[in-house]
Structure 1
Amino acid sequence: MSTLENRPNKAVLVIDVQNAVVHETHERDAVVANINTVVGKARAAGVPVVWIQDAGGERVAGSEAWKIVPELDPREDEPNVQKQWGDSFEETDLETVLAGLGVGALVVTGAQTDACIRSTLHGAVVRGYDALLVSDAHTTEDGTAWGAPSPDLVIAHTNLYWEDHGAPGRTAGTVTAAELSFEG
């Protein structure tokens, strides 16, 4: 259980699933479909969904590049957090939003695996949250031209090390979108 007192609830984070971020990512359509599955399960269980958008660089707030992909449907009553750093907690109101919802455990989805997903996962655990990564609901683009492993290997490696990650009083792990359950 998280180390955050009086924070028994869970929330889903949908990180940077924006037009300019995921347009050339690995298995984009399948990942977006899996994120839709996670969001649907959360909503059905009354679990908050928090939408996070990167407002840096070409992703100017309100622009097409900044918008959440059209396959997803953020609702007006769901929190939206704007960020400019990889870790979704850095210089944002994410912690305030989660505290207000009594959230101590996060279910993480989105993009990019080797940047904002990893940064947010680690940032969450450091701040006392439990953090569950949906193994088939995050993606990244091809960085092999710059010496990175292929996207499928980046995703597989992140899933591998997060599966066994943990810290005193906090849990981590992975689950597929199909296996994810908010019951119990």
Structure 2
Amino acid sequence: MTTLQQRPRTALLVIDVQQGVVVSAYRRDEVVANIASLVERARAQDVPVVWVQHSDEGLEKGSEAWQYVGELPGRASEPVVHKHYGDAFEDTDLEEVLAAAGIGHLVVAGAETDACIRSTIHGAFTRGYDVTLVADAHTTNDNSEWGAPPPEQVIAHTNMYWQYHSAPGRTAGVSTTADVTFG
């Protein structure tokens, strides 16, 4: 039950599954296949798919690394939100895109779990959205050399705490790819 009035629809939000972001990501192929399955199901059910694409000095817009992975072709009719910060709402048109489509619930998949995924699910939730994180459709790279836990622990911890996240008038949840409902 979103706090956003007159916004009963759900969208699939696919974050940063770009060649340079996921080239060595944990369980890359499995996660990309799960996201492809979600995209296919969303399209079949007439659920909007919104793509988020990051760029910064290390991921130059237009470069090969900046491109989405080949397994996830977008459609011309599907919006692409370009961002420069972790939270896909910061300094982008994401809110306008979602409002125009009547979206109050986001199903979130993509990369990286401990950066843009976490930032965006929290950003969406604080803005009033219901947010479902797809447990087996987000990934990260191994950042343990900088003090982070191994990727499997980062993903498991994010899934664990998000299923218990709460606030008045909004829901947070975690679902597997097979169990996602867009209704």
TM-score by length of 2: 0.98
Structure 1 gap segments, 5+ residues each: none
Partner of 2:104: 104
The 2-side partners of 1:86 and 1:103 are apart by 21
Secondary structure of the residue aligned to 2:35 is helix
Identical counterparts, % of pairs: 60
Partner of 2:82: 82
The 1-side partners of 2:57 and 2:162 are apart by 29
- CA deviations over 1:108-152 (Å, ceiling 9, x no partner): 000000000000000000000000000000000001111110000
Partner of 1:45: 45
Residues paired across the two proteins, number: 183
Give the 5 Å matches for 1:57-136.
57-136=57-136
The 2-side partners of 1:122 and 1:81 are apart by 17
CA contact (8 A) 1:13 1:49 kept: yes
Instruction: Report how far residue 67 of structure 1 moved.
Output: 0.3
Instruction: Report how far residue 60 of structure 1 moved.
Output: 2.0
Secondary structure of the residue aligned to 1:123 is helix
Give the 5 Å matches for 1:119-158.
119-158=119-158
The 2-side partners of 1:156 and 1:57 are apart by 30
TM-score by length of 1: 0.98
Structure 2 gap segments, 5+ residues each: none
Secondary structure of the residue aligned to 1:7 is coil
Partner of 1:165: 165
The 2-side partners of 1:13 and 1:2 are apart by 16
Give the aligned residue type for 1:146: W
The 1-side partners of 2:88 and 2:96 are apart by 12
The 2-side partners of 1:50 and 1:59 are apart by 20
The 2-side partners of 1:150 and 1:58 are apart by 23
Partner of 1:182: 182
The 1-side partners of 2:166 and 2:108 are apart by 15
Instruction: Report how far residue 182 of structure 1 moved.
Output: 2.1
- CA deviations over 1:5-46 (Å, ceiling 9, x no partner): 100000011000000100011000000000001111110110
